[in-house]
């Protein structure tokens, strides 16, 4: 089975990043040299995605503009002897088609995914959060591995998980794995933003999913949950309770997810990507009195 469609929800309000996100999408915030969502799209393209459906909303047109081909800008660079910058626009020519659907009311991530139902049209598909970057220097292949697992196990869903410190676990969907410490495990349950003291594990959903279209039936039946929003996690829980197979994969060692959802994790991403910059990273670390050759990370 070939899966070449990814749904990228980018319609959220980003209230935790106010005032930064008052008039600009959090998915367009700069991390290193690119806006967040460009990393997401490049990762998806590298994992074989040919169609990307953005679930978008009010105030998000900058995302559409970013992925358009800007012929005027290209001509300007050519005519003004700035050809060296043309390479920075090569992402515009990625072998990917872009589509957009509006989430007309911000009723939560689960609702955003449900908005993709007609477009997905009964196929299996990837969901990649538009505010989460995977991988620092290399493009992450996690989605490719997840698709392989999805096909091999005939699961209803495959979800990417990352181990996070206990004190942060309450920000995420959290797995109750059948096999502890396994790279790939079956899910017995999943809980949205649990009280850290009662969290079923330290495994937090890390922004990438592969779904069979049965997720849409589950979403359609899912009432609003935490925060009054229709939670994707609750729909996945419903799949598990209906006896469907849901598989978790752990992010490989050395890879991690950069969550651009709140300031602490956003700042971490900004600093790590700046320190990893091929041109300025070393200088920057020296400037801050750090070992210029040290690797950065948790």
**62 touches ligand UTP by CB under 6 A:** no
Site map for ligand UTP, 185-204, x if CB under 6 A? --------------------
**55 touches ligand UTP by CB under 6 A:** yes
**129 touches ligand UTP by CB under 6 A:** yes
Site map for ligand UTP, 148-177, x if CB under 6 A? ------------------------------
**14 touches ligand UTP by CB under 6 A:** yes
Kindly tell me which residue out of 112, 136, 145, 159 binds ligand UTP, with binding defined by CB under 6 A: 112
- Looking at beta carbons, which residue is closest to ligand UTP? 12
- Full DSSP string of the chain: ----EEEEE-----GGGTTTTSSS-GGG-EETTEEHHHHHHHHHHHTT--EEEEEE-TT-HHHHHHHS--HHHHHHHHHTT-GGGGGGGGGGG-S-EEEEEE-SS---HHHHHHTTHHHHTT--EEEE-TTEEE-SSS---HHHHHHHHHHHHT-SEEEEEEE--GGGGGGSEEEEESSTT-SEEEEEEEEES--GGG-S-SEEEEEEEEE-THHHHHHHTPPP-GGGS--HHHHHHHHHHTT--EEEEEPPTT--EEETTSHHHHHHHHHHHHHT-TTTHHHHHHHTTS-TTPPP--
Using omega within 30 degrees of 0 as the cis cutoff, is the peptide bond preceding 19 cis? Answer: yes
Q: How far is the CB of 110 from ligand UTP (least distance, A)?
A: 8
Question: 6, 216, 181, 20: which is closest to 97 by C-alpha?
Answer: 6
Kindly tell me which residue out of 5, 6, 7, 12 binds ligand UTP, with binding defined by CB under 6 A: 12
Q: How far is the CB of 229 from ligand UTP (least distance, A)?
A: 6
Stretch that binds ligand UTP, among 45-53, 72-80, 99-107, 213-221 (CB under 6 A): 99-107
Stretch that binds ligand UTP, among 82-90, 108-116, 134-142, 176-184 (CB under 6 A): 108-116
**131 touches ligand UTP by CB under 6 A:** yes
**CA angle at 159 for the pair 157 and 163, rounded to the nearest 5°:** 155
Q: How far is the CB of 11 from ligand UTP (least distance, A)?
A: 3
φ, ψ of residue 27 in degrees (nearest 5): -70, -15
Q: Which is nearer to ligand UTP, 114 or 142 (CB)?
A: 114
Q: How far is the CB of 82 from ligand UTP (least distance, A)?
A: 33
Q: Which is nearer to ligand UTP, 55 or 142 (CB)?
A: 55
Q: How far is the CB of 92 from ligand UTP (least distance, A)?
A: 22
**103 touches ligand UTP by CB under 6 A:** yes
Number of other CB atoms surrounding residue 35 within 10 Å: 21
Kindly tell me which residue out of 5, 7, 9, 162 binds ligand UTP, with binding defined by CB under 6 A: 9
Q: Which residues here bind ligand UTP, judged by CB under 6 A?
A: 9-16, 27, 55, 103, 106-109, 111-112, 129-131, 261
């Amino acid at each position: 089975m070939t899966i070449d469609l990814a749904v990228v929800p980018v319609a959220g309000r980003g209230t935790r990043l106010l005032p930064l996100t008052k008039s600009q999408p959090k998915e367009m915030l700069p991390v290193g040299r690119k806006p967040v969502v460009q990393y997401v799209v490049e990762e998806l393209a590298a994992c074989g995605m040919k169609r990307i459906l953005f679930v978008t909303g009010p105030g998000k047109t900058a995302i559409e503009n970013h992925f358009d081909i800007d012929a005027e800008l290209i001509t300007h660079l050519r005519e003004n002897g700035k050809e060296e910058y043309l390479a920075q626009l090569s992402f515009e020519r990625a072998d990917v088609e872009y589509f957009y659907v509006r989430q007309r009311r911000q009723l939560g991530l689960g609702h955003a995914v449900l908005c993709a139902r007609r477009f997905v049209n009964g196929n299996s598909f990837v969901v990649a959060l538009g505010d989460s970057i995977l991988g620092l220097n290399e493009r992450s292949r996690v989605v490719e591995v997840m698709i392989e697992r999805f096909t091999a196990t005939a699961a209803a869903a495959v979800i990417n998980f990352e181990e996070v410190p206990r004190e942060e676990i309450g920000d995420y969907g959290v797995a109750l794995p059948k096999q502890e410490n396994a790279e790939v495990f079956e899910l017995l349950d999943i809980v949205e933003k649990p009280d850290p003291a009662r969290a079923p594990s330290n495994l937090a959903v890390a922004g990438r999913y592969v779904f069979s279209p049965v997720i849409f039936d589950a979403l359609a039946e899912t009432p609003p949950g935490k925060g009054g929003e229709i939670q994707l996690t609750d729909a996945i829980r419903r799949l598990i309770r209906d006896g469907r197979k849901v598989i978790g994969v752990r992010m490989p060692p050395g890879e991690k997810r950069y969550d651009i959802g709140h300031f602490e994790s956003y700042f971490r991403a900004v600093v790590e990507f700046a320190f990893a910059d091929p041109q300025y990273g070393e200088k920057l670390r020296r400037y801050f009195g750090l070992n210029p050759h040290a690797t950065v990370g948790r």
